[in-house]
Amino acid sequence: MTVGGPYIRNLALTDFRNYSALSLDLRPGLVVFSGENGAGKTNLLEAISLLTPGRGLRRAPYADVAREGSTNGFAVHAEMDGPTGTFDVGTGTAGLDPGDTGRRVRINAARATADELLEWLRVLWLTPAMDSLFTGPAGDRRRYLDRLVLAVDPGHGRRAQDYEKAMRNRNRLLSDGSRDRAYFEAIEVQMAETGTAIAAARVEMVRLLSAMIDRLPDGPFPQADLALDGFLEAMVGSSPAIEIEERFRAALASGRERDRAAGRTLDGPHRSDLIVRHRPKSMPAELCSTGEQKALLVGIMLSHARLCGEMAGGAPILMLDEIAAHLDAGRRAALFSILDELGSQTFMTGTEAELFSSIRGHAQFLTVDHGSVRHTFEP
Share of the chain above pLDDT 90, in %: 83
CA–CA gap between residue 305 and residue 210 (Å, rounded) = 13
Judgement on whether residues 71 and 126 belong to the same structural domain of the protein: yes
Instruction: Calculate the average pLDDT of the chain.
Output: 93
pLDDT per position as a tens digit, 214-255: 998 888 899 999 999 999 999 999 999 999 999 999 999 999
Is residue 306 in a domain? no
Contacts (Cβ under 8 Å, ≥6 apart) of 357: none
Q: pLDDT grade, residue 313 (50/70/90)?
A: confident
The answer to whether residues 267 and 186 belong to one domain is: yes
Does residue 293 lie in a domain region? no
* Cα of 84 vs its chain's centroid, Å: 25
Same domain, residue pair 273 and 329: no
The answer to whether 340 and 311 are in contact (CB under 8 A) is no
Upper half-sphere CA count for residue 138 (Cβ side, 13 Å): 10
Give the model confidence (pLDDT) of 265-302 as tens digits: 999 999 999 999 999 999 999 999 998 999 999 999 99
**Cβ atoms of residues 356 and 350 within 8 Å:** yes
Kindly state the average pLDDT of the residues 16-41: 96
How many separate domains does the chain show? 2
> For residue 207, what is the domain's CATH number?
1.20.1050.90
Residues 267 and 352 in one domain: no
Average pLDDT on 348-357 reads 94
Q: Which residues of 171-200 are buried (b: 16+ CB within 10 A; e: fewer)?
A: bebbeeeeeeeeebeebbbbbbbbbbbbbb
What is the pLDDT, as a whole number, of residue 377?
Answer: 66
Q: Do 84 and 145 fall within a single domain?
A: no
Contact 367, 373 (CB under 8 A): yes
pTM of the entire structure?
0.93
State the CATH number of the domain containing residue 92. Answer: 3.40.50.300
Domain assignment present for 325: yes
Q: Residue 1 has what pLDDT?
A: 42
Do 168 and 217 lie in one domain? The reply is yes
Span 349-372, average pLDDT? 93
Neighbours of 58 (CB within 10 A): 17
Q: Which domain holds residue 160?
A: 135-287
